A and B are shown apart, each in its own frame.
Chain A
Amino acid sequence: AQSVTQLDSQVPVFEEAPVELRCNYSSSVSVYLFWYVQYPNQGLQLLLKYLSGSTLVKGINGFEAEFNKSQTSFHLRKPSVHISDTAEYFCAVILLSGGYNKLIFGAGTRLAVHP
């Protein structure tokens, strides 16, 4: 069965420190990979995506992620976080079969940035 595992439910970090949010997936078919952010009482916003090509992808708000096929991982990183980055972050995949672009999400990681 296909699944997405976010290894940390909560990540506390101080402002201006680097952060990494971890994501692993399992799938028997090729996938597209995504990170979404959800601010309180809001919907989901796409941070970045990997479809093909370079395994290092850059997104909005200074975030980047690296696709590692051998480790089936897609970890999200930011070199220096701000208070405004406090939010819930979701890793997701689309299976490249079926053609319906169904997103499969992880359980989320709550990033809490402290001053």
Chain B
Amino acid sequence: DAGVTQSPTHLIKTRGQQVTLRCSPKSGHDTVSWYQQALGQGPQFIFQYYEEEERQRGNFPDRFSGHQFPNYSSELNVNALLLGDSALYLCASRRSGEEYNEQFFGPGTRLTVL
């Protein structure tokens, strides 16, 4: 079992550009969440996808959007990048169906905006 995988590992962009980050969930998982972890901070919830729809969203602007594919993999898109978008972006997956199922985190994508 490969666990949660994310690509790319690192990414450097300039202000105003757009970026797409990718996540493949752990085998058997159908729900994917994205978190932003700024340097020296705890992760902040961006949004969650289930059945190819955004089910819940944190306090992030519309520049942050996502997608979930039929194979449960997911993308995070960020438009009009700002310096403050520099962070580690973490993907987490879990199985739906129970009140609580453990979320498993990927290693993250380190985004640097210059």
Contacts and interface: CB of A to CB of B under 8 A. Distances in A.
A103 B100 contact: no
A46 B102 contact: yes
Interface in A86-102: 90, 92, 94, 96, 98-102
A43 B101 contact: no
B43 A90 contact: yes
A90 B44 CA distance: 12
Contact of B43 (A41, A51, A101, A103): A103
Among B100, B102, B106, the most chain A Cβ lie within 10 Å of the Cβ of: B100
A27 interface: no
Interface string B31-57: 101010000111111001000000110
Interface residues of B, number: 26
Contacts of B48: 100-102
Contacts of A44: 43, 90, 92, 105
A105 interface: yes
Interface of B: 4, 31, 33, 35, 40-45, 48, 55-56, 58, 90, 92, 94, 99-103, 105-108
Interface of A: 4, 6, 32, 36, 41-46, 49, 51, 90, 92, 94, 96, 98-108
